[in-house]
Structure 1
Amino acid sequence: MPLHNPGESSDLTHPISKRAPEPKPLETVSRTEAELRRLIRDARRIVVKIGSSSLTDDSDHAVDPAKIVALADALEARMGRGSDVILVSSGAIAAGIGPLGLHHRPADLATKQAAAAVGQVRLAHEWGRAFERHGRATAQVLLTASDAGRRDRARNAQRTIERLRQLRVVPIVNENDTVATSEMRFGDNDRLAAIVANLVAADALILLSDVEGLYDRHPQDPQAQFISQVRTGHDLKNVQAGDGGRVGTGGMASKVSAARLATRGGIPVLLASADDIDEALGEARVGTAFHPRDNRISAWKFWVLYAADIGGTLRLDAGAVEAVTSGGKSLLAVGITEVLGDFRSGEIVEITGPDGAIIGRGEVNYDSDTLVGMVGMHTADMPEGMQRPVVHADYLSNYASRV
């Protein structure tokens, strides 16, 4: 994939403009692990995600200034070699645990939000101090799933991050835990990092935590085998990934899921330990490297599948499912059996099969009230002006080849 010149502006419309062209399918490329790691090493625009445990003290969960200084030094060194860095920093809730007198990560939403409100201030302050030593300013970019789910908000976030980059400011992204609800969350900052990487057209995503990479089972198991690279899902067939730690939400399972999500958009990923940040940001010879998919989907289709807000649902018959998943056809009214939800023309809708299984998403050309009266109708029988596909193939993204 093309690298970005730090002096150039990226295409600010690519993740959310339905007019973004879909790239032609690429032939399978045989890339070695060494070539993949060089690709990560030479990436000009990178997103680096750092987990909570790598930012806080083990005893009281307070933000550890020494850890943040060491991390900032490594990030600054990478920027000094010509790369743009967008930082996704966990740790807000963890950083608020100690000051609030709590002894463990809170379980209820209100206390989580209170801890985030306290911890985010402390976290941002320490990052600012660490980068100020290098004469570099930092900026806090707080996002919710709703921000990424709407085109206008996603576009605004993208433009803000791009302008910060042009001003040599380090964007520090985190989920806005103080206002996010349990129903409208990214789930963890690993997934957030994958979505941000796609949003900013990153050349690589680096996920740093307290583990040195991916093992086929818990690293403490003497039989555990280290996995240095992941080409496809077949490499993960026998891998047993665990959940989050004491102060975080994203365990190995979420990191693998986020890595595969990013590679679906054509972005190579390195999963490594924050203790190895110098090497991870240097020659990239540590951790587990994930190969990007050659048959990557366009940025717009990535957004539709993994970030967009959903206005409603269309249920299809078996023939229509085959047409849109295997045949690459537009969705016509004749194949629709049910319309659920209240949506307007231009919104993103979920598309399911006869059994309710989700098969994809797309941008609908009719509002729900109009579409209800079109269910099962052949295009030739439609009134004049209503003979367009319900969802055009160009604006329909299916999960048949998802990560």
Structure 2
Amino acid sequence: MSDSRTAIAQARRTVVKIGSSSLTGTDGRLNVPALEALVAVLAERRDAGHEVILVTSGAIAAAIAPLGLPGRPRDLATAQAAASVGQGLLIARYTAAFADHGLRVGQLLLTAADTLRRDHYRNAQRSIERLLELGVVPVINENDAVATDEIRFGDNDRLAALVSHVARADALVLLTDVDGLFTAPPDRPGSRHIPLVRGPEDLTGIEVTARGTAVGTGGMVTKLESVRIATASGTPVVLTTAGNARAALAGEPVGTYFTPTGKRTTRKRLWLAFAAAPKGRLILDEGAARAVQGGLASLLPAGVLDVEGAFEAGEPVELVNPAGKVIARGLVAYDSADIPALLGRHTSYLRARLGDGFDRALVHRDDLVLLRRGRKRAPANADAPAGGDGERTRPRAEAGVVPTGAIR
């Protein structure tokens, strides 16, 4: 992977995320000049022939002063009410600011549930694509007015990373009130700025805190989580201040640049790895777990010891090794109620006893992603299974696993 920031400057499509602390003053009011300054930068980017998607926080913060609140609400009902008031104020400002540059905006309000349900995830993707085709700047925010736990989703950081993948963006720029990553809190004596992160090994010894600002919810922990999601799927990231937005988009050495650590994968696999909410678990035997973790496996009933949870065919489940460690996620092909009768059985037995349709994989290789990467083994035959421990004497064609790819 290249360490060059030209990837940012040349990106055809860029997701830019700005946090609440960058859009509000110390009194909690919406900082209109700051918003307009950001819009001017994004309009320049559009005029230069690039596409821009804006993920913005600030709805709840924008309502703090108008509603006479002492600070960010702590109870859910007040937070939802503030979001309802503040979202209108926020999008009105964006609409007017972009209109000054001859641009239209389209508002998308999402909740975490929209990234947890595959159909909603795909609908969001189609909406973003069509807005861009129409020359509209998508302005995306979390729908805090109807949210519950997702109000603490991470100040839109994780949402921005998921949007960057859904929209097939070429770069992600995270704007906050800190100019990048530091070895410790920036105000601590001896803390050093880190201009480049090539991978997880560069984060060894870095001290970050989970707490955000008084008006925001996301701290450096959530930002690094969003970076991990984006870079793992091939998207470079810059973390810097809102005041450096123009320089960051131009590829100048501001903030911290995170190089991609993986290759772009399918939306379905990224959804499974980072957004899907598992509905249950399949407990694998040692042989099946080794093969799955080695990046070689779809999962057949022969390699599964037990099933936990209640779910329907097509829902996401976790694949767990005998020690209880989650090693993969996948879309299960059977209802949970049907699986116990299949466990430990090879496909020829299931076909003979239960009929056609019961000899398919529990989790097909196209519907599987690894969460932990084991040592990869090369099979003698790409279609030959590795097997579960309980089926060592059966023909290799009836073992518990067959080859697959994986997210690294």
Cα distance, 1:185 vs structure 2: 6.5
State the secondary structure of the residue aligned to 2:369: strand
Deviations 1:285-341 (A, max 9, x none): 211001112445433211111112433221222322111111511112122222222
State the secondary structure of the residue aligned to 1:400: coil
Say whether residues 1:112 and 2:84 are aligned partners: no
Cα distance, 1:178 vs structure 2: 1.1
Say whether residues 1:203 and 2:170 are aligned partners: yes
- Equivalents in 2 of 1:258, 1:294: separation in Å? 14
8 Å contact kept, 2:301–2:343? yes
RMSD of equivalent CA atoms: 1.7
Say whether residues 1:299 and 2:267 are aligned partners: yes
Highest RCO, 1 vs 2 (Cα 8 Å, sep ≥ 6): 1
Residue identity matched to 2:369: S
- Equivalents in 2 of 1:81, 1:235: separation in Å? 34
From 42, 47, 57, the counterpart of 2:15: 47
Identity rate, percent: 48
Say whether residues 1:164 and 2:131 are aligned partners: yes
Bigger radius of gyration among the two: 2
The change in CA–CA distance for 1:112 and 1:46 in structure 2 (over 3 A counts) is same
The change in CA–CA distance for 1:85 and 1:364 in structure 2 (over 3 A counts) is same
Deviations 1:203-259 (A, max 9, x none): 000000011111010111221111111111000011111221111111111111111
- Equivalents in 2 of 1:167, 1:297: separation in Å? 26
- With the length of structure 2 as denominator, give the TM-score of the two structures: 0.87
8 Å contact kept, 2:107–2:139? yes
After TM superposition, the structure 1 = structure 2 runs for residues 1-400 of structure 1, keeping only pairs within 5 Å, are 29=1, 31=2, 33=3, 35=4, 37-58=5-26, 60-182=27-149, 186-242=153-209, 243-383=211-351, 384-385=355-356, 386-400=358-372
The change in CA–CA distance for 1:184 and 1:209 in structure 2 (over 3 A counts) is closer
- Equivalents in 2 of 1:353, 1:345: separation in Å? 21
- Equivalents in 1 of 2:263, 2:125: separation in Å? 24
Cα distance, 1:277 vs structure 2: 1.3
Residue identity matched to 1:292: P
The change in CA–CA distance for 1:292 and 1:327 in structure 2 (over 3 A counts) is closer
- Equivalents in 1 of 2:104, 2:132: separation in Å? 11
- Equivalents in 1 of 2:139, 2:284: separation in Å? 42
Residue identity matched to 2:156: N
State the secondary structure of the residue aligned to 2:141: strand
The change in CA–CA distance for 1:254 and 1:387 in structure 2 (over 3 A counts) is same
- Equivalents in 1 of 2:295, 2:25: separation in Å? 54
8 Å contact kept, 2:173–2:237? yes
**Unpaired segments of 5 or more residues in structure 2?**
374-406
Cα distance, 1:187 vs structure 2: 3.8
- With the length of structure 1 as denominator, give the TM-score of the two structures: 0.88
- Equivalents in 2 of 1:313, 1:188: separation in Å? 30
Residue identity matched to 1:298: T
8 Å contact kept, 1:40–1:284? no
Q: Match of 2:390?
A: none
Task: Report the number of matched residues.
Answer: 370
Cα distance, 1:400 vs structure 2: 1.4
State the secondary structure of the residue aligned to 1:394: strand
